Amino acid sequence: MSRSRPTTPACRSPTSVRPDSPTARRRRGTRLRGLSVWLIALLVALVATVQIRSQAEVERSLVGIDSTSLAFLIDDLHRANDALDAESSDLTRRRDTLESGGAGAADQVLADEAGRLRAVEGLVPVHGPGIVMVIDANGLNALDLQDALNNLWAGGGEAIDVNNRRIVTGVSVGQMSNGVSVDGVLVVPPWTITVIGDANRLGLVADLMSKQLRADRRVRQASYRVEADVVIRSVVSQKPFVYAVGF
């Protein structure tokens, strides 16, 4: 009678590790830490690349800009910061007035704000310091006029009129077959652009614009004058609401 041999357990590889053993957990932790370090290094490299490219774009955008234009850019930044500080102070003052509880003071604040908004929307005549610019040219188009208006707005203009046509947000400057139009009405050269705002700043902008315009062969005349009290009598017709109805 044959005697069966006892089976021997399979030999376990000395390098095999149970999945739930401490060694396996340490290995998984090491791999996770390595992956985390790799991801962080990738993010750092990505941020550095973006920063370098952004700096390169800024440097390229400044190439070719003369010192005068660069000074204007820096001055614009300072003026924008000053304007924000002034607006913040004004809003704080009006808030304190409204919170004081005085009916008369609150009514005055609301009346002042309503008047300011009507002036911004071009619904009332306005006056103040500013400049009057005259451009006489043959062949200038709507884009040329729009560029001039944008420069004057950026230069501190608060109210603008072109040939007795008030310029506000929403008023279109378009090109017609026979010339340039403002809000659908033809404005024939010479263009008389009246601007109210910081007279000193507007004078500098108008001087630079005049020099550039005189270099254009299409322009016959480009001049400006600074005045202590400029009057803009033109107004924009208030458009009634047709679809928006208050509750």
Closest CA to 185 of 167, 202, 197: 167
Asked if residue 19 has a cis previous peptide bond (ω within 30° of 0), the answer is no
E strand or H helix at 220: strand 219-232
Does the residue 12 lie in any domain? no
Does the residue 245 lie in any domain? no
Does 90 share its domain with 39? no
Q: Which CATH number belongs to the domain containing residue 138 in this structure?
A: 3.30.70.1880
- % pLDDT > 70, the chain: 70
Residue 49 has pLDDT above 90, yes or no: no
Does 156 share its domain with 226? yes
Residue 47 has pLDDT above 90, yes or no: no
Kindly tell me the number of DSSP H helices and DSSP E strands found in the chain. Answer: 5, 8
Backbone φ, ψ for residue 16 (5° rounding) = -75, 140
Cα 28 off chain centre by? 51
> Mean of the per-residue pLDDT values for the chain?
80
Closest CA to 72 of 208, 244, 247: 208
pLDDT band at 108 (very low <50, low <70, confident <90, very high): confident
Which tokens in the block code for residue 201? 């700043």
Residue 37 has pLDDT above 90, yes or no: no
Does the residue 9 lie in any domain? no
> pLDDT tens digits for 184-230?
999 999 999 999 999 999 999 999 999 999 999 999 999 999 999 99
> pLDDT tens digits for 53-88?
666 665 666 666 666 666 767 777 777 777 777 777
Residue 32: CB partners within 8 Å, gap ≥ 6? Answer: none
Residue 145's domain comprises: 127-232
Task: Give the residue, 20 or 194, on which the prediction is more confident.
Answer: 194
Does 86 share its domain with 52? no
Model-level pTM? 0.61
